[in-house]
Structure 1
Amino acid sequence: MEIVPFNHSNIDQLTKLIIALWPECKFDQEYANCVRILESDKECYFLAKNHDQYIAFIYLNLRSDYVEGANTSPVGYIEGIYVQPDFRKQGVAKKLIARAEEWCREKGASFLASDTEIDNSGSIAFHQQMGFEVTNRIVTFIKELK
């Protein structure tokens, strides 16, 4: 298994993995977003490849706005991470995070941050196993004004 950057040749496979993580998204929109990110120096994807099959990805962003718990900027931010079910619990996500940490350091970031839903105990446990610390727990609200 190897960790590879995404490029024009693997955008289709990456987009399929994105849709697996976020099924409410549309393939064409996510594909176009990936093409845009190819030209970005503040966003990137890395993929895990097992033989000829792409099995996982991590989506990173450099945030310059406030990030809970960080006292410097920019902060590397995990916007999404996904491993196909058959390949989970085999160290794939750990390798993706290690590559993410390298990318963040290369970009001048001193922190790598992430978030998850407050009731996603599996994701919370995963983040803590990867060395992340909880910095805050919040519930957000909105009211539509009519």
Structure 2
Amino acid sequence: MIVRPVRPEDHPAWAAMRARLWPDEDPAELAGELGAMRETVFVAEEEGALVGVIEIGVRSYAEGGPDGPSAYVEGIFVEAGHRRRGVASAMLAAAEQWARGEGFTHLGSDALIDNDLSHAWHKAAGFAEVERLVVFGKGL
């Protein structure tokens, strides 16, 4: 397996993985965001096929982190047939290396409150839970 920065020819596979990661979002909108993204993106490639992607952004604030900007895992996805084989961990290691190289001392991430599998992965990857959040909205 190779973990490397995303390339333009990866866009179709990357867009497909984003659609599976965020199934409630419009796939065309998710694909349309690729060209203008400011995130740093790494992909995992195995035998010429992309099997995972991690998108790392920079946020002005991350819960549990120091004051100021932090690197942030905006999304991570591994194809079903390649899970539990270290793909996510390898991509996270690349993201951490990038973040350290950019001078960040904190890496944030989040998961939906009921996504127990993601919670378990984050804890196994060395993340500590720092806050729980319920977001409310009201139409006007």
Shorter-normalised TM-score: what interval? over 0.9
Partners of 2:2 and 2:45 within 8 A in 1? yes
SS of corresponding position for 1:102:
helix
Aligned residue among 59, 66, 84 for 1:63 = 59
SS of corresponding position for 1:10:
helix
Q: How many residues align?
A: 140
**Is 2:61 the counterpart of 1:79?**
no
Partners of 1:72 and 1:110 within 8 A in 2? no
| Structure 2 alignment gaps of length 5 or more | none
RMSD over equivalenced CA pairs, Å: 1.3
Partners of 2:40 and 2:55 within 8 A in 1? yes
2:135 is matched by which residue type in structure 1? Answer: T
Q: Which residue of 2 is the match for residue 111 of structure 1?
A: 106
SS of corresponding position for 1:61:
strand
- Work out the CA distance in 2 between the residues paired with 1:116 and 1:24: 15
Please report how far the alpha carbon of residue 18 of structure 1 lies from its aligned counterpart in structure 2 after TM superposition.
0.9
Partners of 2:56 and 2:72 within 8 A in 1? yes
- Work out the CA distance in 1 between the residues paired with 2:20 and 2:34: 15
- Work out the CA distance in 2 between the residues paired with 1:84 and 1:32: 21
Q: Would you identify which runs of 4 or more consecutive aligned residues in structure 1 move more than 2 Å?
A: 23-32
Aligned residue among 84, 92, 98 for 2:93 = 98
Report the TM-score, using the length of structure 1 for normalisation.
0.89
The CA deviation string for residues 43-87 of structure 1, in whole angstroms up to 9 with x for no partner, is 1211100011101100110112x2111114321100110001110
Please report how far the alpha carbon of residue 25 of structure 1 lies from its aligned counterpart in structure 2 after TM superposition.
3.1
Please report how far the alpha carbon of residue 117 of structure 1 lies from its aligned counterpart in structure 2 after TM superposition.
1.1
Q: Which residue of 2 is the match for residue 45 of structure 1?
A: 41
Q: Which residue of 1 is the match for residue 117 of structure 2?
A: 122
The CA deviation string for residues 93-127 of structure 1, in whole angstroms up to 9 with x for no partner, is 00010001011112221111100111211111100
Please report how far the alpha carbon of residue 24 of structure 1 lies from its aligned counterpart in structure 2 after TM superposition.
3.0
